[in-house]
Amino acid sequence: MPAAGAPHEVPAIELRGISKAFGPVQANKDIDLVVPRGTIHGIIGENGAGKSTLMSILYGFYRPDAGEILIGGKPIAIADSQAAIRAGIGMVFQHFKLVQNFTVLENVILGAEDGGLLRPSLSRARGALKRLASEYGLQVDPDALVEELSVGHQQRVEILKALYRQAEILILDEPTGVLTPAEADHLFRILRGLRDEGKTIILITHKLREIMEITDNVSVMRRGEMVASVRTAETGPAQLAELMVGRKVLLRVEKPPARPGAPVLEVRGLRMVDAEGVERLRGIDLTIRAGEILGIAGVAGNGQTQLLEVLGGFPEAGAKLQGELRLNNETLPLNGPGADGRARRRAGIGHVPEDRQAEGLIMDFTAWENTAFGYHHAPEFQHGVLMDNARIRADAMDKIQRFDIRPPNPDLAARNFSGGNQQKIVVAREVERNPDLLLIGQPTRGVDIGAIEFIHKRIVALRDAGKAVLLVSVELDEIMALSDRIAVMFDGRIMGERLPEEATTGDLGCLMAGVDPAVTPPEAAIPPPAAPGTDAGGGAG
């Protein structure tokens, strides 16, 4: 398999015949991988394709059942993460492993202290950080508390931690999931800088655009196997997507033009102040009509979650709400017992929540118990004073079949399904009730491409049946592909509305960063780091 980089050189990483099984599940099958020194290597694949398992083996979390790992040409056994660090491997996890109330400096030396006293380590680290910052453009205030940093800066701290530990090989797991476009661009500049200094970088992602933009080589995984390793320059997104799923997929959602009808949901002046007194929603006005999908774009943490929770009837405890909600011309209460999730369901609002594992499902319940969750008061599920479990189970079987939920076993606990199938359980439950309004948050987060396509089709079908859909997603591609109208949220406000056929990524990116390009020139489009109450910002530099 051809790969970029000088062929005569010893590769930074070489994997030979790596296999790993969890019980009957073969997570990695006979994987070969060669990553030349000084390159950025993308690893792409659907969820459950085995990317994370492979990287966990490389970082010493799992022992492979078979196979060999060579670092710099020498075979080594990586028993734990300490051994991986000694071998020069650094890992930046998707969910940062930072102590929130420590400073940047304290986080960097954590676990790498020189001795019992902190002061010498801290001053040594301060010098090292200064050097790294100027070398790679990794500027972070060493004395800032991590909790006060933007997400982009927190990620830099993770990278600094790895570099401080002399990492020559850096593994990044889905690094751009939480970043603004500007922050992602900055990250890519840093990564290119690191590569040019001779570091080797492995980038795990499911975003084809990132692969094309930044990697030198790309390896595709499918069902535990490495199906291809190619030079990025010699391939394209369509080919990679096909390799990932093993068949052609539609990168665009096919949908007939929308025929919007009467307003279904009208939101007027919706404000929410959370228990800490932070204003999360600052006067939201929205109208969603029957037969249309309104997409809400925005960087995570700008009030989208709160908007969904308020509409779905479960704002966080202690929140103060104000404003007006009307569903099909009838006012919905904002507070009190008539404003809970059950009342909202009865009014005709279905809700696929952003966090399916914490909210949408009871992970220890069986699939069939989960298919009634939230609708367990429905008259057809009752049998006198008892619940009609046989009926619920039959109903679940029906949903499993029509949504192709795999494995088709209603007695399996929800936690034992893959992410995509878990999401199908939630979507089946909410969509099959035929709600007048469907709230759907991050519908395809952590979901494989096959399931994404299926879920998108269901959303469009619901809209074509004359229902209203409110879609919240941090995936701009998804918003662009599905929405009939796009509203961008920033700092608890709707910054602007666009039609998808007119909107450009740059235009939306500006709105997402809190700047209306129609009003302000884009150069000023970067807000100060760590603006209060948001995760946005920090893209400067």
Name the site residues for another protein (rule: CB under 8 A): 21-25, 312-314, 337, 340-345, 351, 353, 355, 358-365, 369, 373-374, 376-377, 382, 385-387, 389, 416
Closest approach of another protein to the CB of residue 432, in Å: 16
- Taking the least distance from each CB to another protein, the nearer of 185 and 274 is 274
The bridge status of strand 200-205 relative to strand 40-45 is: parallel
- Taking the least distance from each CB to another protein, the nearer of 186 and 344 is 344
- Taking the least distance from each CB to another protein, the nearer of 213 and 364 is 364
Q: Which residue in the block uniquely carries the two structure tokens 């929308």?
A: 258
- Taking the least distance from each CB to another protein, the nearer of 22 and 80 is 22
Closest approach of another protein to the CB of residue 338, in Å: 11
Q: How far separated are the first and last CA of the chain, in Å rounded?
A: 38
Closest approach of another protein to the CB of residue 307, in Å: 15
- For residue 144, the number of C-alpha atoms closer than 13 Å in the C-beta half-sphere is 15
**333 close to 327: Cβ distance less than 8 angstroms:** no
User: For residue 189, which of 213, 206, 218 has the smallest C-alpha distance?
Assistant: 213
- Taking the least distance from each CB to another protein, the nearer of 313 and 537 is 313
Closest approach of another protein to the CB of residue 47, in Å: 17
- Taking the least distance from each CB to another protein, the nearer of 358 and 519 is 358
- Taking the least distance from each CB to another protein, the nearer of 188 and 365 is 365
Closest approach of another protein to the CB of residue 437, in Å: 16
Q: What distance in Å separates the CA atoms of residue 240 and residue 113, rounded to the nearest whole number?
A: 43
Q: How many CB atoms lie within 10 A of CB 92?
A: 24
Closest approach of another protein to the CB of residue 427, in Å: 15
Which run of H or E residues covers position 22? strand 13-22
What Å distances lie between residue 210 and 176, 446, 527, CA to CA?
A: 9, 17, 24
What Å distances lie between residue 315 and 312, 335, 360, CA to CA?
A: 8, 10, 15
The set of residues, in sequence order, having a beta carbon less than 8 Å from that of 92 and lying 6+ positions away, is 155, 158, 159, 162, 170, 171, 172, 173, 175
- Taking the least distance from each CB to another protein, the nearer of 441 and 527 is 441
Query: What residues form DSSP beta bridges with 219?
Result: 43, 229
Q: What distance in Å separates the CA atoms of residue 130 and residue 341, rounded to the nearest whole number?
A: 51
User: For residue 494, which of 289, 351, 303, 308 has the smallest C-alpha distance?
Assistant: 303
